[in-house]
Structure 1
Amino acid sequence: MKKLLFIGLIALFFSCKEDKQTPEKEITDTIENRRPNIIIFYVDDLGYGDVSSYGATGVKTPNIDKLALNGIRFTDAHSATATCTPSRYAMLTGNYAFRRKAAVLKGDAPLIISPEQPTLPKLLKKVGYKTAVVGKWHLGLGDGNVDWNTTVKPGPAEIGFDYSFLLPSTGDRVPSVYMENGNILNLSEDDPIEVSYTEKVGNRPTGYENPELRRQVADDQHNKTIINGISRIGWMKGGKSAEWVDEDFPYKLTEKANTFIKENKDNRFFLYYSFHDIHVPRLPHKNFQGKSEMGPRGDAIVQVDYVVGEIVKSLETEGISKNTLIIFTSDNGPVLNDGYEDDAVEKLGNHKPAGNLRGGKYSVYEAGTRVPTIVYWPEEVAPKISNALMNQVDFYSSFAALTGQNKEASILDSENHLQALLGKTDKGRVETVLEGYTLALRQGNWKYIKPSNKPGKWITEEKKIESGLTTVEQLYDLGRDPSEQTNVADQFPEKVEELKFKLKQIEELTY
């Protein structure tokens, strides 16, 4: 009898142990049976409150809202930094951008991701995925001495993308041309391109010399070569036949993305769709002009929503929507006037781009990095709202788990939060670093902001955004003070020291 009882207890122990592992086992079974296609919609400068499902007024986003209604809407998900290039770097490499001293790049900067580094597309290629990037790049190209008239290397191909169709940097910078698989599209041999960020090249009109030719008033930085009626950052000579028309972005980029989807419907694929919208210059196509109450900035959000709808429609047409995991998110928080005047301030109305959060793009406060984040996977992800603390730097390790792989030792910062990403748990990160010209550490509802001597006056005065840069330590209890209005560092010195020490440990981490 005692022997039977002992055997029964052993069986019960292993039964309970197996039950505790069920969520992970379910995910593993899903992985082995059907690794999903993966699409990341990466919108530019979209704030926490800029879509309807996050409280937007003055603009409607039904296609994005459909993803949110039928997927997971995260309330505390973050880009790694409050600016574009560093966020892209962190998302694609799984390491915080400060480790590379990543900053917003000039249009002729060299590739910031080394071809030797592990990357998200390389990871997925290992298990048979076809990979593509379509849209804004802004991670640098070449080795620092680019000849734009030849195939530019290194670039997307060298860091794992099978196909690329790019805006080489971003919309407000030259060269203002499309680049497909390393080559400028429609470039004439008789009119070669030359780009400079130090001195004028060629005889094209510029904003500072010919302001009457501009369609939008621009600041000094954005006042160089005029292309499509918009003065840009930097000077560009030649390449007339290759110039883009900004208004065509939603159709041109979506056409390329949908072609990639159609050609790879029988393969597993990863599509990184990197929007130019709603970054400046905001020049929505005529089909979207006047579709919001907020002028070009609101119309650009409507344009984003259209693109999302078109790509989801393509998935449904090809019969692969149920096996496609979609993540919709943004590279950083919102900004209104960011070099051009387009009535973003004047027509804002009651709309709150950052919701109830403090700061915005460039800022270390929450609005700089807390962004709309939606995960949609029909029949696999149950609709819910998740309060899990999430960071885009974790896409790398989470997708490694999703596809049955391990991360490399050189991936210092990415953590596997697949269960939170798929809504199996509301437990995300215990703590995460956030960056906005200084570093902050989130630990639950606590947020510590490292003091900085960097001048943040330009953020406050030019962008009209609170930077969060001060020479004193800041500590906020976001549970009681979600808008970061009261610095409680003096009240909780032990918590300040704890978070300060932890942040220093993370900064000094090496492999």
Structure 2
Amino acid sequence: MQKYFKFKHQKRLVMNKGLLAFALVTLSYAVSAQPVKKGTQKSPNVIYIYADDLGYGDLSSYSATGIHTPNLDKLAASGIRFTNGHCTSATCTPSRYALMTGKYPWRKKGTGILPGDAALIIPTDKTTLPKLFKQSGYHTAIVGKWHLGLGEAVAKDWNGEVKPGPNEVGFDYSFIFPATADRVPTVFLENHQVVALEAKDPISVDYKNKVGDDPTGKDHPELLKLQSSPGQGHNQTIVNGIGRIGYMSGGKLARWTDEELSPTFLAKAEDFIRENQHHPFFLYYALTEPHVPRMPATRFKGKSGLGLRGDAILQLDWAVGEILNQLKLLGIEKNTLVVFSSDNGPVLDDGYEDEAVERFKGHAPAGILRGGKYSVLEGGTRVPFIASWPGTIKPQVSPALVSQIDLLSSFSKLLNRPIPQGDATDSENVLDALLGKSQKGRSVLIEQGITELAIVKDGWKYITPNNGEAYMPLVGIETGNLPEPQLYNLNVDAAEKNNLAAKYPEKVKELAGLLDAAKQKKYGIYREQR
């Protein structure tokens, strides 16, 4: 009898444990099935918005008077407007490489401006900006311009899976065009596939030899709605009435119209935000404006009074405003850090006769700065740089020296996720500056023009002697090249008007030595502890 009761008691315990386990599983499922309440997510969302060829003086929040950018002004007023924020390079591909890898692009061959058929230049086995977030449990996406290469080689099949690419370097979702809007192929890629591609109309791309029967801008200028600027090469395959760089055939249904680029990218970005509103996400939203060809949606044409470039900036400002409105509508604006910047300085005439030069008289796209896109002068790399996180970042203007190359290490600190040794070696942790807790950023920054380099330390800037042309007549920009050393005190002379090299030879020697040391090493010479 005693054995019977003992057995019955044990059976009851087993049944109770089973019921308890079942209840716990059921409860866990029920909890996980419930939508997360607004405001309960702790990890901040991060949106990085990247303009293309936008200058330091192109926003009204940066003292532009010829154009009004209310949405970006609102973003700046709600957070930090940096007056000394930089990309690493005065052209697009190198700056994007530095952003993604945390390494200076001049350390690696093949990181100059890429053609549309280039192979991927971002390593798939190293820490990248999106991979850092993905490893921290974030959902990650890129929407917009890529221009960092695709596939393992130049020769690739655009009609199958095009990879490796953004997905292989850390993005869960990608909706991009391969290079820039002035280069073929003029198609969207969603993850690994060309959107709307028909099997009966395969794509072929070549940057050396003409393919297919499509007319070119060179042979048929009468078909162009935007004429190519003389000597700049935007006169090959015509798509949407615009001559491009490179030759393309096929993919007729898949080809975009330029006026739809910005609305399409905006819709995809908004879809990603909405679908991930209850989960931490990182969105790299890479705008196309105001890069050539400037062909904004009809609603913006003629609105700026500054020609198509001004109209494109208005479209850019509108797109940013739509993202900010969505964050507020979803109730996640206080849990979202938004960083806005540009990949390099401005240029007016960069391939097409769109009245940018004629209409922009009286407006200074680089503000008080000399130079612009392609230049090692400040106008090449000092760009609008804004960080906003309502309720966390106090509104302010900051003189801290910050660079896009530092976002990797700074977000590593934010996420409390260390970067493996040997990765992101030029990136510094400037999180306190990005969050407005300090007005001190990095102390040393190396700036890159087309080929020449400059180094900035504690406000002093040294530009290496260079026998290249001092002025690029095709685009109307000072390069910063001179055969003698240049030294500027940016603390009092951001416009780089007074060359002090002859007056301070010891400072020239010091900075030249630091730059030489940086070139010889594979890592940064002045890095803060991560």
Both structures adopt the same fold (TM-score exceeding 0.5): yes
Q: Which residue of the partner structure matches residue 13 of structure 1?
A: none
Q: What displacement does 1:479 show?
A: 2.3
- Cα distance in 1 for residues equivalent to 2:115 and 2:142: 20
1:395 is paired with a residue whose SS is helix
1:157 aligns with 2:167: yes
- Cα distance in 2 for residues equivalent to 1:507 and 1:64: 37
Q: Which residues in structure 2 correspond to 1:468-483 (within 5 Å)?
A: 468-483=480-495
Contact 2:41/2:279 (<8 A) preserved? no
Q: Which residue of the partner structure matches residue 130 of structure 1?
A: 139
1:295 aligns with 2:304: no
Q: Which residue of the partner structure matches residue 442 of structure 1?
A: 456
1:92 aligns with 2:100: yes
Q: Which residues in structure 2 correspond to 1:346-357 (within 5 Å)?
A: 346-357=358-369
Contact 1:225/1:232 (<8 A) preserved? yes
Corresponding pairs, count = 478
Contact 1:390/1:428 (<8 A) preserved? yes
Q: What displacement does 1:35 show?
A: 2.2
Q: Which residue of the partner structure matches residue 25 of structure 1?
A: none
Q: What displacement does 1:463 show?
A: 0.9
Q: Which residue of the partner structure matches residue 240 of structure 1?
A: 252
Q: Which residues in structure 2 correspond to 1:249-260 (within 5 Å)?
A: 249-260=261-272
Q: Which residues in structure 2 correspond to 1:295-314 (within 5 Å)?
A: 295-314=307-326
Q: Which residues in structure 2 correspond to 1:240-389 (within 5 Å)?
A: 240-389=252-401
Contact 2:41/2:280 (<8 A) preserved? no
- Cα distance in 2 for residues equivalent to 1:352 and 1:344: 12
- Cα distance in 2 for residues equivalent to 1:418 and 1:316: 24
Which of 436, 439, 450 pairs up with 1:423? 436
**Which one-letter code corresponds to 1:419 in the other structure?**
D
Q: Which residue of the partner structure matches residue 158 of structure 2?
A: 148
1:220-259 deviation digits (Å, cap 9, x = unpaired): 5110000000000000010001000110112100000000
Q: What displacement does 1:304 show?
A: 0.4
Q: Which residue of the partner structure matches residue 148 of structure 2?
A: 139
1:271 is paired with a residue whose SS is strand
Q: What displacement does 1:408 show?
A: 2.2
Contact 1:35/1:402 (<8 A) preserved? no
Q: What displacement does 1:472 show?
A: 1.8
1:63 aligns with 2:71: yes
Q: Which residues in structure 2 correspond to 1:109-258 (within 5 Å)?
A: 109-144=118-153, 145-219=155-229, 220=231, 221-258=233-270
Q: What displacement does 1:492 show?
A: 0.7
1:445-495 deviation digits (Å, cap 9, x = unpaired): 200011234x336x5211110001222211111223221112111111110
**Which one-letter code corresponds to 1:165 in the other structure?**
F
Contact 2:107/2:522 (<8 A) preserved? no
Deviates more, 1:326-335 or 1:405-414: 405-414
Deviates more, 1:191-200 or 1:289-298: 289-298
Q: What displacement does 1:506 show?
A: 1.4
1:133 is paired with a residue whose SS is strand
Q: Which runs of 5+ in 1 are unaligned?
A: 1-31
Q: Which residue of the partner structure matches residue 509 of structure 2?
A: 497
Q: Which residue of the partner structure matches residue 14 of structure 1?
A: none
Q: What displacement does 1:189 show?
A: 0.4
Contact 2:91/2:344 (<8 A) preserved? yes
**Which one-letter code corresponds to 2:452 in the other structure?**
T
Q: What displacement does 1:40 show?
A: 0.6
Misfit runs of 4+, over 2 Å = 32-35
Contact 1:51/1:59 (<8 A) preserved? yes
Q: Which residue of the partner structure matches residue 74 of structure 1?
A: 82
Q: Which runs of 5+ in 2 are unaligned?
A: 1-39, 524-530
- Cα distance in 1 for residues equivalent to 2:252 and 2:174: 22
- Cα distance in 1 for residues equivalent to 2:88 and 2:244: 27
1:345 is paired with a residue whose SS is helix
Q: Which residue of the partner structure matches residue 112 of structure 2?
A: 103
Q: What displacement does 1:406 show?
A: 1.4
- Cα distance in 2 for residues equivalent to 1:35 and 1:491: 51
- Structure 1 pair 154–70 and aligned structure 2 pair: CA distance change class (3 A): same
Q: Which residue of the partner structure matches residue 3 of structure 2?
A: none
- Cα distance in 2 for residues equivalent to 1:110 and 1:292: 38
Contact 1:324/1:377 (<8 A) preserved? yes
Deviates more, 1:156-165 or 1:498-507: 498-507
Q: Which residue of the partner structure matches residue 49 of structure 1?
A: 57
Contact 1:76/1:390 (<8 A) preserved? yes
- Cα distance in 1 for residues equivalent to 2:260 and 2:310: 17
- Cα distance in 2 for residues equivalent to 1:349 and 1:467: 21
2:47 is paired with a residue whose SS is strand
Q: Which residue of the partner structure matches residue 427 of structure 2?
A: 414
- Cα distance in 2 for residues equivalent to 1:335 and 1:440: 20
Contact 1:475/1:488 (<8 A) preserved? yes
Contact 1:284/1:299 (<8 A) preserved? yes
Contact 1:58/1:298 (<8 A) preserved? no
**Which one-letter code corresponds to 1:78 in the other structure?**
H
- Cα distance in 2 for residues equivalent to 1:180 and 1:33: 28
**Which one-letter code corresponds to 1:136 in the other structure?**
K
Q: What displacement does 1:34 show?
A: 2.5
- Cα distance in 2 for residues equivalent to 1:126 and 1:178: 27
Bigger-Rg structure (1/2): 2
- Cα distance in 2 for residues equivalent to 1:229 and 1:240: 13
2:298 is paired with a residue whose SS is coil
Q: What displacement does 1:117 show?
A: 2.2
**Which one-letter code corresponds to 1:34 in the other structure?**
K
Q: What displacement does 1:33 show?
A: 8.3
Contact 2:41/2:278 (<8 A) preserved? no
Deviates more, 1:329-338 or 1:475-484: 475-484
Q: Structure 2-normalised TM-score?
A: 0.89
- Cα distance in 1 for residues equivalent to 2:86 and 2:522: 23
Q: Which residue of the partner structure matches residue 3 of structure 1?
A: none
- Cα distance in 1 for residues equivalent to 2:88 and 2:491: 21
Q: What displacement does 1:509 show?
A: 1.6
1:485 is paired with a residue whose SS is coil
**Which one-letter code corresponds to 1:207 in the other structure?**
G
